[in-house]
Amino acid sequence: MRLQTLTPENPLGLDDPSLFIQCAIVNGAHVASETTFAVDNPATGEQIGTCPDLGIDEARGAIDAAHAAFQSFKHTPALERQAHLLKLHALLLTHADDLARLIVWENGKAWGDAVAEVAYAASYVLWFAGEAVRQNGEVLPPSGVNRNFVLRAPVGVCALLLPWNFPIGMIARKVAPVLATGCTAVVKVPAETPYTNLAFVELVHRAGVPPGVVNVVTTHAHLVAVGAELTTNPKIAKVSFTGSTRVGKILAAQAASTLKKLSLELGGNAPLIVFADAHLPTAVAGTLASKFRGSGQTCVCANRIYVHDDVYEQFSAALAAEVAKFVPGAGFEDGVTHGPLIHKAAADKVMQHLADAVAHGARVVAGGKRLSDTLIQPTVLVDVEPDCLLSTEETFGPLAALIRFSTEEEVVALANRSEVGLAGYFFSCDADRIWRVAEALEVGMVGANTGAISNAMVPFGGVKESGYGKEGGRDGTDEYVVKKLVVVGSALG
C-alpha cells in the first residue's frame, strides 16, 4: 500500500509514524528549537512539517558530541562495526516502504524511483559492512633493522553535507563508510529533504550505533554560517560534500584554512553519444535511464545528447515515442512515472533552457509543456545547436536535447568542451571505438552501451571541476582513513 490513512498522529501515512522526526539529532537525542523552517511537498507546494532552524552554537554542540564519541568509537572492534551495518541494512529493508514514502513526500520523485533509491541506499550499507572488516594495513619490506608498517586509522570527525536529490542514497553512501572505518559524523541535511535523512539516522541508532557517533544538524536561514563552521572547526577532520560546483569551491576554500581531508562530488553536465554503429534499442533504453531518472535531477544525468547524422532521425523518433509514454504527476499517484522538480526555481531553469534551445532553432518532438509550478512533461528536443545554454549549464530536469554530429573526432571534442567531468556515456558496437572513446572522454565515469553506471561496488566520482574523491567500491573507505607509517626499530639498538 502506498500510504496508510492520514491522521493528525500519522500525517504522512507511515507504517511506523515514529520515523517522521521533526527535530535535529545530537548525541542520540532529539533537539528542537524555537525557530523552525517549513518543509514542503514539491507536488503541491503544501507544508508537510517543520524542522529546527539551528545556528552556529548548535552546530558546535553537534561537533563536540561527535568529537567526544570518536574517542571511544575509533576503538570499536571491526566485527562490531560490521554488525551495526548489517543490522542497519536489515532495518532499511524492513522500513523500505516508509523510507520511500518520506522520499516522495519531501523530494517528489515517483514511487518507483523512491523504492529503487531505498534499495540503492541499502546496497551501500551492505557493501560497507563488508569493507568494515577489510581495513587492513600493510607490512612493508624492512629497512635494515627497522620494520615498516602502514596502519589505516579513522580520520576523525567528518562533516557530511548532503544534497536533496537522493534523500537516502547520499546519506547511506557517506555514513556507511564513516561507520565502517570507526569515524564519527555531523550530517548537515538539506532543508528541502530533512525527514528521510532523519529517519535514516534514527535507524542507525536502532541498529545499536552509540549516541554521538552520527549527529544531524537541520538549518535553513543559517545555512552559510553552519556550512562555514563545519568546514573550519578544528575538531572536524574531513568534509564530504555532494552538490553544485559553485558551493563546492566555497567549501573547499573554507576547508583549506585547516587543511581538512576533502571529497567533493559536484556538477556533471554529462555528454551522451549515439554513434552510427550503435544498437539503437540499447541506445534508446540507455538514454531513457540516464536522462530521466529522478526526473532528470541527478548529477550523472545525460545533459548533452550527441547523435550521429546517419541515425539521427531514427533515434530521435524512437526516443520521442518512448518519452511520450511517460506519465508525469504526483509521486504517489498510480501510473505516474516521473514526479515534479524539487521547487519552482528548478522548473524555471528547465523552461529557460528549453526556450533558449528553441530560440536557437530546436524543435520539441515530445512533451514540452509545464503542467504546474514544479511539474514539466518529459521532453525531447531535436535540432539543438551545440552552443546553446544547456551545453554549458546543467539542466537538472527532464529535457533530452539532441545535437547532431558527423565524426568521432568532432564529437569527442564537443563532449570534452566542458569545465566539469563527472560521467559520460556512449553507444557503439565497434570494440575498437569502445576503448578509444572510453579513454578519450574527460570524465570520472564512463558508461559504454549503458545509461546506468552507479552501484555500491564501483568508485563514484569525477574529474575536472566535478570534484575529487571516490564514493563506494574498494576506494570508498580511503576517504575516511589516514595511512599512518609506523617504523619499529630494535629496542636494543
Task: Scan for cell 569525477, then name that residue.
Answer: 462
Q: Which residues contact 231 (CB under 8 A, 6 or more apart)?
A: 159, 239, 251, 254, 255, 260
Mark residues 448-487: x for contact with ligand SIN by CB under 6 A, - for none.
------x---------------------------------
Among residues 131, 192, 265, 479, which one is catalytic?
265
Stretch that binds ligand SIN, among 33-41, 218-226, 294-302, 479-487 (CB under 6 A): 294-302
Q: Which residues contact 216 (CB under 8 A, 6 or more apart)?
A: 24, 25, 26, 62, 186, 187, 189, 194, 197, 198, 201
Mark residues 247-286: x for contact with ligand SIN by CB under 6 A, - for none.
------------------x---------------------
Stretch that binds ligand SIN, among 14-22, 110-118, 152-160, 298-306 (CB under 6 A): 298-306
- Cβ–Cβ contacts within 10 Å for residue 44, how many? 14
Query: Residue of minimal CB distance from ligand SIN?
Result: 454
User: Exposed, middle or buried, 71 (CB in 10 Å: 0-12/13-18/19+)?
Assistant: exposed
Of residues 409 through 428, those in contact with ligand SIN by CB under 6 A are: none
| Nearest CB to ligand SIN, comparing residues 302 and 362 | 302
Q: Is 298 in the site for ligand SIN (CB under 6 A)?
A: yes
Q: Is 165 in the site for ligand SIN (CB under 6 A)?
A: yes
The answer to whether the beta carbons of residues 285 and 273 sit under 8 Å apart is no
Rounded CA gap, 144 and 138, in Å? 18
Rounded CA gap, 277 and 226, in Å? 51
The answer to whether the beta carbons of residues 42 and 339 sit under 8 Å apart is yes
Q: How distant, in Å, are the alpha carbons of 69, 396, 440, 460 from that of 453?
A: 36, 18, 18, 9
CB of 272 to ligand SIN, least distance (A): 15
CB of 491 to ligand SIN, least distance (A): 50
| Residue 369, CB-side half-sphere exposure with 13 Å CA sphere | 7
Parallel/antiparallel/unpaired status of strands 399-405 and 445-448: unpaired
Among 132, 284, 300, 390, binds ligand SIN (CB under 6 A): 300
Catalytic, 313? Answer no
CB of 265 to ligand SIN, least distance (A): 6
Rounded CA gap, 197 and 101, in Å? 13
Of residues 216 through 245, those in contact with ligand SIN by CB under 6 A are: 242
Among 105, 166, 396, 426, binds ligand SIN (CB under 6 A): 166
- Binding-site size for ligand SIN (CB under 6 A) equals 9
Rounded CA gap, 114 and 459, in Å? 23
Stretch that binds ligand SIN, among 27-35, 58-66, 253-261, 295-303 (CB under 6 A): 295-303
CB of 300 to ligand SIN, least distance (A): 5
Residues serving a catalytic function are 265
Binding site for ligand SIN (CB under 6 A): 165-166, 169, 242, 265, 298-300, 454
